[in-house]
Amino acid sequence: MNEEIIIYGSLASVFVFIITILFIPLIIIRIPRNYFRHELPPKSEKWEIPNYTKYIFLFFKNIIGILIFFSGVIMLFTPGQGLLTILIGLSLINFPGKRKLERKLISQKLIFKTINKIRKKSGVRPLKKPKF
């Protein structure tokens, strides 16, 4: 029984590690340069779809964000980019105080430096530092 848990846990860890290596850079380079600069996020265009479709989309976006968030927590103890994965998971989830938490995380020197390093390798301009 314990051997099965270790095997499945190891396989899940390797799978999540590979997924993060592939998708985290894609997400990071798509973040607008001034996204974390101000207290309020940049205004997005209004959706031109029915309300029920918005709610379905938001539901699935939040579910995916929660899964990514918990994958990041697991990666704090296994191979992977745990803090970056947690930040991306949080950015997908809607909850009160989200913006403040995102800005606090991105202002951590190591995280900010790592994100801008990934952006530079992709030929994308670095993020602007948050103003507090």
Work out the end-to-end distance of the chain between its first and last CA atoms, rounded to an integer number of angstroms. Answer: 51
Q: Work out the angle at residue 99's Cα, subtended by the Cα atoms of residues 104 and 54, and round it to the nearest 5 degrees.
A: 150
Question: Looking at residue 77, what is its pLDDT?
Answer: 81
Give backbone dihedrals phi and psi of 36, rounded to 5 degrees, phi first: -95, 0
**What are the angstrom distances between the C-alpha of 74 and each of 12, 67, 69, 83?**
10, 11, 9, 10
- Alpha-carbon gap, residue 112 to 65, rounded angstroms: 20
DSSP string of 84-126?
Answer: HHHHHHHHHS--TTHHHHHHHHHTSHHHHHHHHHHHHHTT-PP
Whole-model pTM: value is: 0.65
Domain boundaries in the chain? Answer: 2-38+47-121
pLDDT tens profile 106-129? 888 988 998 999 999 999 999 988
Per-residue pLDDT, 126: 93
Furthest C-alpha separation in the chain: 52
Quick one: pLDDT at residue 108?
87
pLDDT tens digits, 9-52: 778 777 777 877 788 888 888 888 888 887 766 665 555 667 77
